[in-house]
């Protein structure tokens, strides 16, 4: 995408403004989340600055972490979790090493995960294991988009992150009608505020296109609701607990995953 501005000054500015906002809010939860972002953003920037190889390592590492969190969240057996953690990072690596073969690679990873309960002869819980495993592969496959978009994905990452944070703050502060029964903490007021700041971020970075606008305005909140649906289905609050104040990595990437799908499909 030509004309995209360097997002680094804006990311630094957003972290600074966000830090001031969370201190003023006095909420320990937001302070811990800000600390997680303050560590994570430089890691993302450095990895993407290293080119497609760095992007592949970043996306593959995130895929492994998300797969392990998801396996624990859904109660998959150890074998299923191990296979999922092995096949999920294959898509980002294939997007770097052999992008033309990416569809075939995705098909093979789906087959590998689906066959685990079949080969185990699990008549009682095999269907559930198969469905959860296939969903995991499909859900995390968009991480390959980080490699395909390269450094341009920073603009999408910034827009989705700022929209997500704004939606959370505005929803808690303004309240109003709930966005969906899937998440009792999300409000239409938060969605509208997050959409405005997300689209504004794209405009400032020179990355505003119809495809990316749809990705941020629709993909990000729907991705968040998708994870909420999964968590409610298994009666869990967070995907993990290792990120201070932020749950797990999947809790932070859920919005970006579906946004990547729409950005690639529509763009």
Residues in CB range of 86: below 8 A, 6 or more apart: none
- Collapsing DSSP to helix, strand or coil, 163 comes out as helix
Residue 39: CB atoms within 10 A of its CB come to: 11
Averaged over successive runs of 10 residues, the pLDDT of the chain (267 residues) comes to 66 72 72 74 87 95 95 94 97 96 96 96 95 96 95 89 86 86 90 94 90 95 93 83 70 92 92
pLDDT of residue 245: 55
The two three-digit tokens of residue 239, written as one number: 């995907």
Question: Measured at the alpha carbon of residue 180, what is the angle toward residues 176 and 181, in degrees to the nearest 5?
Answer: 110
Secondary structure class of 242 (helix, strand, coil): coil
One-character DSSP codes across 99-125: GGGHHHHHHHHHHHHHHHHHHTT-TTT
d(CA 261, CA 242): 27
Alpha-carbon distance of 143 to 233, in angstroms, equals: 24
CA angle 181–84–34, rounded 5-degree value: 55
Q: How is 131-150 classified by DSSP, letter by letter?
A: HHHHHHHHHHGGGHHHHHHG
Three-state SS for 258?
Answer: helix
**Residue in 16, 157, 135, 161 with CA at minimum distance from that of residue 80:** 135
Buried b (16+ CB within 10 A) or exposed e, 60-79: bbbbbbbbbbbbebbebeee
What is the C-alpha to C-alpha distance for residues 34 and 18, in angstroms, rounded to an integer? Answer: 7
- For residue 4, the model assigns a pLDDT of 67
Length of the chain: 267
Which residue(s) pair with 183 in the sheet? 180
Cα of 143 vs its chain's centroid, Å: 8
Please calculate the CA angle 55-61-64 and round it to the nearest 5 degrees: 140
- The region that residue 192 occupies, defined by phi over 0 for left and psi between -120 and 50 for alpha, beta otherwise, is alpha
DSSP state of 50: T
């Amino acid at each position: 995408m030509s004309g995209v501005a360097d997002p680094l000054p804006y990311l630094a500015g957003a972290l600074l403004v966000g830090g001031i906002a969370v201190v003023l809010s006095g909420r320990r939860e937001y302070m811990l989340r800000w600390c997680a972002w303050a560590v994570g953003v430089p890691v993302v920037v450095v990895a993407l600055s290293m080119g497609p190889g760095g992007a592949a390592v970043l996306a593959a590492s995130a895929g492994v972490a998300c797969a392990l969190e998801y396996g624990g969240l859904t109660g998959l057996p150890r074998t299923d979790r191990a296979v999922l953690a092995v096949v999920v990072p294959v898509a980002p690596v294939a997007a770097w090493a052999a992008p033309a073969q990416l569809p075939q690679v995705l098909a093979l990873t789906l087959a590998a995960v689906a066959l685990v309960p079949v080969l185990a002869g699990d008549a009682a819980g095999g269907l559930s294991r198969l469905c959860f495993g296939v969903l995991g592969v499909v859900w995390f496959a968009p991480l390959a988009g980080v490699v395909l978009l390269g450094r341009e994905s920073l603009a999408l990452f910034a827009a989705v992150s700022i929209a997500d944070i704004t939606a959370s703050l505005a929803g808690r502060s303004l309240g109003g009608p709930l966005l969906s029964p899937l998440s009792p903490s999300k409000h239409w007021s938060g969605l509208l505020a997050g959409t405005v700041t997300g689209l504004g971020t794209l405009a400032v970075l020179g990355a505003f296109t119809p495809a990316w606008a749809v990705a941020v305005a629709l993909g990000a909140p729907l991705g968040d609701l998708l994870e909420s649906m999964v968590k409610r289905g298994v009666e869990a609050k967070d995907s993990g607990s290792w990120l201070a104040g932020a749950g797990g990595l999947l809790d932070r990437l859920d919005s970006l995953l579906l946004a990547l799908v729409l950005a690639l499909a529509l763009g």
